[in-house]
Amino acid sequence: MPLTRRGQAATYRNSIASKAPDVDFDAVRLTQSSSEHSHAMTSPSAPYVSSDNPNLIPPSGPNWRLIGAVIAALCIIGATISIPAYEAWQSAESAHAERGKMNGAVYTVEVDGEPVKIELGWAGNHLALLADPELPPGAVVTVKGDFGPETLPWNAEYQFFGPTQAEMNPFSHHKVSIRIENDGQLLWSGKRWAWGVPTGHHHH
3-state SS string over 89-115? HHHHHHHHCCECCCCCEEEEEEECCEE
Asked if 193 and 93 count as a contact pair (C-beta separation under 8 A), the reply is yes
Strands 185-194 and 140-145: what pairing? unpaired
User: How much is the average pLDDT of 12-16?
Assistant: 54
User: How much is the average pLDDT of 123-150?
Assistant: 97
Residue 115 confidence (pLDDT) above 50? yes
Instruction: Write down the mean pLDDT value for the chain.
Output: 80
- Full DSSP string of 113-162: TEEEEEEEEEETTEEEEEEESPPPTT-EEEEEETTEEEEEPEETTTTEE-
Which of these, 121, 120, 116, lies nearest to 139 by C-alpha position? 116
User: How much is the average pLDDT of 106-112?
Assistant: 96
pLDDT (0 to 100) of residue 73: 81
Residue 59: DSSP 8-state: P
Residue 16 confidence (pLDDT) above 60? no
Residue 165: DSSP 8-state: S
Q: Rounded to whole angstroms, what are the CA distances from 52 to 48, 49, 56, 198?
A: 10, 8, 12, 79
Identity at 140, one-letter amino acid code: V
In this predicted model, what pLDDT tens digit does every residue of 32-48 receive, in sequence order?
555 555 544 555 555 55
Q: Which domains does the chain have, with CATH numbers?
A: 105-194 (2.60.40)
pLDDT (0 to 100) of residue 59: 64
* Close Cβ partners of 166 (under 8 Å, ≥ 6 residues apart): 126, 127, 147, 148, 150
Distance between CA atoms of residues 109 and 139, nearest Å: 15
Threshold 0.85, pTM exceeds:
no
